[in-house]
Amino acid sequence: MNPSGDIAKQQSHLIIVSTLLMLLIIIPVIALTIWFAWRYRKNNTAARYEPDWDHSTQLELVIWGAPLLIIIALGLLTWISTHTLDPYRPLSRLDADRPVSADTKTLTVEVVALDWKWLFIYPEQGIATVNELAAPVDMPIRFKITASTVMNSFFIPALAGQIYAMPGMETSLNAVINQPGEFEGFSANYSGAGFSGMRFKFHGMTAENFDQWVKNAKAGGGALKRAEYLELEKPSERDPVRRFAAVDSDLYHAIVNRCVEPGQVCMDKMMATDTNVKAGMHHE
């Protein structure tokens, strides 16, 4: 509810509007319940007593009509916002006043939920970080998200809603940060003993500061190759920030397809082989 990114701002607006629509029913019901209890209390002999009364068309219309109209409004709002705020949908705007132009560059970040830390790979910049994430202000970000062993949930409240990270699968999130600053990120899905320390800082930066941040990562830190990743993947708690000056270009693909270790067959190749075998048997 304290958004610094356009997606989070739209989600915050959706929550507020939905709550106000529901309060249109809740507040009158609570008020009338209190009023009825007071008006028709036992010692109030001035209240009308009508034991044979059982129906009022006007009252039925109000009782059923008002909630029905609000449910229709909420349904329309939910339908529209579900498609507009689909995390897989590329951004159409940077904020309410600025649409995304055709030449707008998108930053790709590959996210891996480990036990119990976060790995962020920047394929275009050729770097990787642990428990630290950065992005330029007003640049669309496409997160490609997976996990090493168990399901987690990638969540930066100021940026956008939570997205699950699952082993052997890839989920996506498109978002943009509109204000520079330092924001909290964490896992919103319990994943074991080190879950509470599975937190990181997300830095919204100017383009110049982001370029300098990338240069600093390249200047200090080793390479993240498959052997180093297998060590990093081992469970550990409250890991400090680490930066890698280089990273294997196919590491994220291997993580998603669960074939980082030598000799393992990647899931996508295994499925492609199965498909080809079944197609051959069908033709025979």
pLDDT at res. 278: 57
Report, in this order, helix, strand and coil percent for the chain, each rounded to 5: 40, 25, 35
Q: What is the pLDDT of residue 276?
A: 59
- 259 and 125 assigned to the same domain: yes
Q: Is the domain of 141 the same as that of 73?
A: no
The reply to whether 20 and 135 lie within a common domain is no
How many domains is the chain built from? Answer: 2
Q: Which domain holds residue 29?
A: 6-41+57-84
Judge whether 278 lies within some domain: no
Cis before residue 116, ω within 30 degrees of 0? Answer: yes
In a domain, 112, yes or no: yes
SS3 category, 176: coil
- Residue 134: is it exposed, middle or buried by C-beta count within 10 angstroms (0-12/13-18/19+)? buried
Answer whether 176's CB lies under 8 Å from 130's CB: no
Query: Could you tell me the mean pLDDT of each successive run of 10 residues in the chain, 284 residues long?
Result: 92 93 92 92 86 87 91 93 93 93 94 96 97 97 96 96 95 97 96 93 97 92 92 94 94 95 89 64 56
- Give 4-57 pLDDT, tens digit per residue: 999 999 999 999 999 999 999 899 999 999 999 999 888 888 888 888 888 889
34 domain residue, yes or no: yes
Could you tell me the CATH number of the domain that includes residue 121?
2.60.40.420
pLDDT digits (tens, 9 = 90+) for 163-189: 999 999 999 999 999 999 999 999 999
pTM of structure: 0.86
Q: What is the largest CA-CA distance in the chain?
A: 91
